[in-house]
Chains A and B, each alone.
Chain A
Amino acid sequence: MSAVKTSASGGASSTGGSALIGRLVQIAILVAIDLFAAFLVINLARDGIWEFAIFLALVTLFVNVIQFRKELFPIRWISPALVLMGVMVIYPILYTVYVSLTNYSDGNFLTKTQVINQVSRERFLPEGGAVFDYVAYRNEAGEFALLLTNSAGEAFFARVGAPLEAVKPDAEGKFADTIDGFTVLPRSERFSALATLSALSFGPEDQPLQISSGKARALQPRFIYDSAKDSFTDRLDGKVYFADDTIGFFVNVADYEAALAADPNTRISSFYLATPTFAQGAGYRVLVGANNFTRFFTSPAIRGPLLQIFTWTVTFALVSVFSTFALGLLIALLLQADTPAKRVFRTLLIVPYAIPALIAVSTWRGMLNPNMGVIGSTLSDILGYQIPVFSDATWAKVAILLINLWLGYPYFMLVCSGALAAIPSDMYEAAQVDGANTLQQFRFLTLPLLLVSVGPLLIASFTFNFNNFVIIEAFNKGLPPILDTPTAAGQTDILISYAFRLAFGSGRGADFGLASAITIVIFAIVAGITMLQFRFTRQWEETSKNV
């Protein structure tokens, strides 16, 4: 009795010591994390990247709070995962939600500031404006000057902020290599000096010359930005362009109204109109509310093949999950039993997992080709007719499911092997004592226990296949085609491949706003299905407690 007590108290005291050390280590790590985060947040905030700065600050705050609240102890264990997921998964999701509410697409990629800068930078050569060929000179102080010549045979020497000085060539028509302490720039430095040179203005300040496209030109800014009115004035024709923040363009109101009068369907909110004559500069990103969602739900696309595609997507995902799981489990069971050469089998059977999906699908595609492929041509020789793997919807679907089975079963074989090994062998002994046969053991012991750990993977595999863009694209790009629909679609298209064709191949260029909206709709569908499955998972959890 006393011996036990001693050991217990000894254990307690050593625990107390290590607890203190543990606490110190914990604080040290926390300080390091805070330092790191504060550094990032301050920098991000300084550069005006507020969204990310605030998000990071919140994440850091969360990490600190859980360290000092005792009842949040279990969360501490989860916090590394949560933080990483927060930054790498949740932030991108929030970003996608944000993009879905904007007009982010071809034609509207830039921010308003970027567009203002770009338009302000635009310059023009006024009537009679000078254009010169130039040779660059530099003095010992590193200042630059230009020797200018034009087609009229005149020559000038131009410094920064000083009037032009006429110079004359020598008898052979050559100019001096050194003028007023400036030496001609050696050939080897001609290009490296360009960055500096092109930023300078030479000659008098009211009519500066700038280097542009290999010449010195007396360029003038073409647009004057008025920040109070948020508008540009074109100095060439005096037209005024006001920022229209509902569509993200600088628009000339009179022209816009004229265009609208001519065609009431006129829009510039999308890329559709290649040359909006009433707008100036590129478009910029603005919030457009639920516009993208409305567009998706009211577009002809939704009345088109969506139901057919949705059915196939669910079928594809379900069949893929169950076929890969069944085969993977079967192989794992066979390998668990008393079988010779297990190691060899196990190694050979994992091989498909080690081969990149892209080449695997291409190989299958080649093998199934009815003319030249080894499987396709052999089958057509045996059957006497060619199986239309690429032109018949049903056969194409069968082929895709077969390929996906090949690609996917090793994953479940691996997982099931691990999970089977984890089932304590005394449970089987107990079951055998109770007189259960092999099938009963599997049905009432192995499967329920297995589903506890593998169940969530079935859900994950379902969602993975639901969005398995790669195999569909690589096999046949969603073909064979469906033509009786308002939009281009294929018989083997799944929701995500169809959606991306809508967002990126519909004649408006890449439409990230629409694509994000569609992504969120798909997410809602998949999340709904997952929640449903989650209820089963909870049942599995209960089951495992009872075992």
Chain B
Amino acid sequence: MLRKVLGLVTLVAVVLGTFGSAFAQSELVIWADDTRAPVLEELGKQFEAEFGVAVKVQQLGFGDIRDQFKTAAPAGEGPDIIIGAHDWLGELTQSGLLEPLVLDEAFLANFAPAALQGFTFNSTLYGLPYATENVAFLYNPELVETTPATWDEVFALSQMLVKEGKSKYGFVRQEGDPYHFFPIQTAFGGYVFGFDEDGNYNPEDLGVDSEGSIAALTWWENFVKAGLQPQAVDYDVMHNLFEAGDAAMIVTGPWALDRIRKSGVPYVVSPTFPEGAEGVAGKPFLGVQGFMVSSFSKNKELAVAFLTEFVASEDIEVTIKVGDKEMMGYPMYLLGLSRPSAYLPALQANEDPDFVAYGLAGTEALPMPAIPQMGAVWSSWGNAVTAVTQGTETAADAFTKAAEQIRTQLAGN
């Protein structure tokens, strides 16, 4: 009796089991973060109406896109296209997750060369850039007349502002963040990784403890010792101080423009950075954002066509609604609204002086290293800057120790 029941069970299960197969559809799945997803959703609707191909936009946190893509793509659950930053290239291409893009010279001529360079890894293009970002030096014109020429001037000016009681603080930095420290470091001749003959980052040449880097951190150490930097300043606190008029100068990126404008504080985005002791202007890191096609996509040709013939074309003007605002334009123009666009016609069309200034501040920018060794650098480098800000280490000690940590890790198995 029992055997019969179990036999029947197996039979039914086998029959049911043969119905399990899925079939492929003409559909594009895109992963985007919360700032791009609304625009892409609208573009997708337009695309579907025009061409009958559904575009499904799935929203993830920016960092989550990269992390989850690694698991989802090989499992066949991944998207066709992801939005991401150029410094993901090293890890993603190395794992065979991205599809190389072969595109026309004429088509690529529309994009900022630095942005394309960012999405090129081992001489192969892996992404279509839509925006670039870099930090710039901002000041409050009611407190500071013009961009100080040197960081020493920034120091002196800060002291003066505080002494005269014009504002609570002069220049204020985000405590440990090395990304925002980089323009100061480079102004004094410091660097993180040097370049090899081909102009690629050379992981053998670590510059965290180079003379220039230590000089920059020493400048900062003196600034902190002079009592000019308040305690426990994170991104949020720094902005609150600036927006309340309590801080006269900061270094921040275009992503913060929204909140600064809302606060109503007068501000100027400086197109240049102050110079270091040796007369070198500071260079920020350049980040590039763009579209990448998954090598596990079942619709690669479609994905590429969507990007080149729809997103980056000027055939179809689309209307999107973001918040209460309705905007009309070509897709690339709409994608590049809150950052300097990587698409040259859109960049030239954007007359917003702040974005122009950000673009100028980024002309000399160094691309954020996409080499995997960078992963070993961030925490140690940041910790060193934090320790000096908190007054627990001297500049020379902090960077020497940090460099030792990084070298140990890079040499580790």
Contacts and interface: CB of A to CB of B under 8 A. Distances in A.
Is there a direct interface between A and B, measured as CB atoms under 8 Å apart in the complex?
yes
B301 A211 contact: yes
B138 to A, nearest CB: 19
A425 interface: no
Given A195-B298, A389-B232, A274 B413 contact: no
A487 B408 contact: yes
In the A-B complex, the 6 residue pairs with the closest CB atoms? A282-B96, A507-B376, A481-B383, A38-B13, A391-B390, A488-B379
B393 interface: yes
Contacts of A114: 74, 96
Contacts of A225: none
Interface string B367-396: 000011111111110011011001111000
Contact of A274 (B67, B240, B372): B372
Interface stretch (B50-58, B179-187, B251-259, B280-288): B50-58
Interface stretch (A70-78, A90-98, A321-329, A366-374): A366-374
A300 B9 CA distance: 57
Contact of A501 (B377, B379, B390, B408): B379
Contacts of B413: 267, 270, 295, 298-299
Interface in B1-53: 5-6, 9-10, 12-14, 16-17, 20, 24, 26, 47, 50-53
A26 to B, nearest CB: 13
B94 A39 contact: no
Given A272-B410, A479-B176, 17 more contacts: A35-B13, A39-B13, A43-B17, A118-B96, A188-B51, A191-B47, A214-B304, A214-B308, A283-B94, A371-B232, A390-B175, A481-B176, A483-B401, A488-B379, A505-B378, A507-B372, A509-B94
Nearest to A210: B301
Contacts of A109: 70, 74, 95-97
B53 A46 contact: no
Contacts of B405: 483, 485-488
A481 B309 CA distance: 49
Nearest to A111: B74
A43 B10 CA distance: 12
Contacts of B104: 214
Interface in A125-149: none
B10 A106 contact: no
B17 A484 contact: no
A195 B297 CA distance: 11
A283 B91 CA distance: 12
B372 to A, nearest CB: 5
A388 B175 CA distance: 13
B231 interface: yes
Interface in B283-303: 295, 298-302
- Range of interface residues on chain A? 35 or more
Interface string B95-121: 111000111100000000000000000
Contact of A481 (B90, B91, B236, B387): B387
A299 B411 CA distance: 10
Contacts of B101: 213
Contacts of A111: 74
A389 B237 CA distance: 15
Contact of A388 (B299, B390, B408, B412): B390
B232 A271 contact: no
B409 A506 contact: yes
Nearest to B49: A188
Nearest to B409: A506
Nearest to A281: B96
Contacts of B230: 370-371
B53 A212 contact: no
A188 B310 CA distance: 13
Interface of A: 27, 31, 34-35, 38-39, 41-43, 46, 106-111, 114-115, 118, 187-192, 194-195, 197-198, 211-214, 267, 270-272, 274-275, 281-283, 295, 298-300, 366, 369-372, 376, 386, 388-391, 479-488, 490, 501, 504-510
For B5, B90, B237, B409, which residue has the most chain A Cβ atoms within 10 angstroms?
A: B409
B402 interface: yes
Contact of B380 (A34, A191, A371, A488): A488
Nearest to A46: B17
Question: Secondary structure of the A side of the interface?
Answer: loop
Contacts of B376: 505-508
A228 B230 CA distance: 68
Contacts of A214: 104, 304-305, 308-309
A508 B372 CA distance: 6
B91 A106 contact: yes
A214 B302 CA distance: 9
Contacts of A490: 383
Interface residues of B, number: 83
A381 B260 CA distance: 29
B95 to A, nearest CB: 5
A43 B104 CA distance: 45
B122 interface: yes
Contacts of A115: 96
Nearest to B13: A38
Contact of B386 (A42, A388, A479): A479
A197 B301 contact: yes
A486 B375 contact: no
B122 A275 contact: yes
B404 interface: yes
Contact of B95 (A282, A482, A505): A282
Residue in B17, B47, B97, B230 with the greatest tally of chain A CB atoms within 10 Å: B17
B398 interface: yes
A481 B386 contact: yes
A151 to B, nearest CB: 12
Contacts of A282: 94-97
Given A35-B12, A39-B16, A191-B53, A505 B301 contact: no
Contacts of B404: 486
Contacts of A488: 379-380, 383, 402, 405, 409
A391 B231 contact: yes
Contacts of B155: none
Which of A212, A283, A504, A507 has the largest count of B CB atoms less than 10 A from its CB?
A: A507
A390 B51 contact: no
A509 B89 CA distance: 11
B237 A371 contact: yes
Contacts of B301: 194-195, 197-198, 211-213
B6 to A, nearest CB: 7
Contacts of A483: 383-384, 387, 393, 397-398, 401-402, 405
A272 B413 CA distance: 8
B392 A390 contact: no
A480 B392 contact: yes
A292 to B, nearest CB: 10
Interface in B155-212: 175-176, 203
B306 interface: yes
A212 B298 CA distance: 14
A272 B51 CA distance: 44
Given A109-B74, A481-B383, A507-B409, A194 B240 contact: no
A507 B193 CA distance: 13
A366 B406 CA distance: 32
B231 A195 contact: no
A192 B91 contact: no
B80 to A, nearest CB: 11
Contacts of B52: 188-189, 191-192
Contacts of B175: 390
Contacts of A298: 413
Nearest to A34: B9
Contacts of B74: 109-111, 114
25 contacts: A35-B12, A107-B94, A114-B96, A195-B299, A195-B302, A198-B302, A212-B301, A213-B102, A214-B104, A300-B408, A300-B412, A370-B232, A371-B230, A386-B231, A390-B175, A391-B392, A483-B384, A483-B402, A483-B405, A484-B401, A488-B380, A507-B406, A507-B410, A510-B70, A510-B91
Contact of B103 (A213, A371, A485): A213
